[in-house]
Amino acid sequence: MKRILITGGAGFLGSRLCDRLVKEGNHVICLDNLFTGNEKNIKHLFHHPHFEFLLKDVTEPLDVAVDEIYNAACPASPPHYQKSPTFTTKTCVLGMINMLELATRHQAKILQFSTSEVYGDPLIHPQPEKYRGHVNPIGIRACYDEGKRCAETLCFDYRREFVTRIKVIRIFNTYGPNMDSMDGRVVSNFIMQALKGEDITVYGDGSQTRSFCYVDDLVEGIIRMMNSREDFSGPVNLGNPGEFTIKELAELILERIPSKSKIVYKKLPKDDPMQRRPVIDLACRELGWEPSIELKDGLAPTISYFKEYL
């Protein structure tokens, strides 16, 4: 039985990972400060003999014996990570150092949840891993973008300096059940607005694009990366290459939810990337992974989840 630490384990992705890894017969230690994570996502695991919950911040040092670490802890939606930007950078950087120290001490494998945000507002489209990005280092998204870029740097320096067993994934926009209804992301915002009959708030003219991956596809890719050959560290893009404008997303959601909501246009936030689509050739080749759930199919269970929530 493997002992697996998941930081940010009460969040959207972390909690889905807790479920899957407990089900597969591992001993899971979930660490979360509940800043954006939610106890309700993991409550059903509290009485499981192979699940532990640590209410702790990833920036505090930690010593537990583990075989694997999934480092997911960090607020990930722009309104949340911008609410306390210095805390976001600290979480990315100090959290990464703590977890790399832990992994090195126990010779554990560590998988870092990096992000497509390392590409910033990309000048190359679609984005392969070798693209070095176009990030505004002093903008309002930098606390997250640069924090995550520095976390990647730390991973590769620990590998070079201390032979730490690192794996880095770059996660593109992901959606599905367990998303926080209030976290301000586009999929949750639009579905909640449509369900409540409120205006659908498209920022800018809605021509900016994103690629949306269903959470189950992503979790499969994450686990394959952890189990990939020892000398493969990535970084590897994980996302769905289907690309949609934000206006198309609003229309898709309105087609699926009978609603009196109408689309309204609001100011585009600063530094909002204009386009985003992953090149996933590396994930296909190294992990034998590609997403199997199209946006139109993944929206149904996501809408059901939010309906139940309401």
Q: Which residues bind ligand UDP (CB under 6 A)?
A: 77-78, 173, 185-186, 189, 201-203, 208, 210, 246, 269, 272
Strand partners of residue 278: 127
H helices then E strands: how many in the chain? 9, 13
| Least Cβ distance, residue 202 to ligand UDP (angstroms) | 5
C-alpha–C-alpha distance, residues 236 and 256, integer Å: 33
C-alpha–C-alpha distance, residues 88 and 65, integer Å: 26
| Least Cβ distance, residue 42 to ligand UDP (angstroms) | 23
Catalytic residue among 81, 144, 175, 214: 144
- Asked if 212 contacts 187 with a C-beta cutoff of 8 angstroms, the reply is yes
Query: Judged by CB, which is closer to ligand UDP: 92, or 102?
Result: 92
**Terminal-to-terminal C-alpha distance of the chain:** 38
| Least Cβ distance, residue 181 to ligand UDP (angstroms) | 12
C-alpha–C-alpha distance, residues 32 and 7, integer Å: 6
Query: Judged by CB, which is closer to ligand UDP: 104, or 116?
Result: 116
Query: Judged by CB, which is closer to ligand UDP: 9, or 78?
Result: 78
Percent of the chain as helix, strand, coil, to the nearest 5: 40, 20, 40
Residue-level length of the chain: 310
| Least Cβ distance, residue 84 to ligand UDP (angstroms) | 17
Residue position matching structure tokens 């059940």: 177
CA distances from 292 to 20, 242, 271 (A): 18, 11, 31
Query: Judged by CB, which is closer to ligand UDP: 27, or 273?
Result: 273
Query: Judged by CB, which is closer to ligand UDP: 31, or 191?
Result: 191
Annotated catalytic, 144? yes
| Least Cβ distance, residue 219 to ligand UDP (angstroms) | 19
| Least Cβ distance, residue 34 to ligand UDP (angstroms) | 21
- Asked if 108 contacts 68 with a C-beta cutoff of 8 angstroms, the reply is yes
Query: Judged by CB, which is closer to ligand UDP: 204, or 286?
Result: 204
- Give CA 197 to chain center in angstroms: 28
DSSP-assigned states of every residue in 113-163: EEEGGGGBS-SSSSB-TT---B--TTSTTHHHHHHHHHHHHHHHHHHHHH-
C-alpha–C-alpha distance, residues 186 and 250, integer Å: 9
Residues involved in catalysis: 144
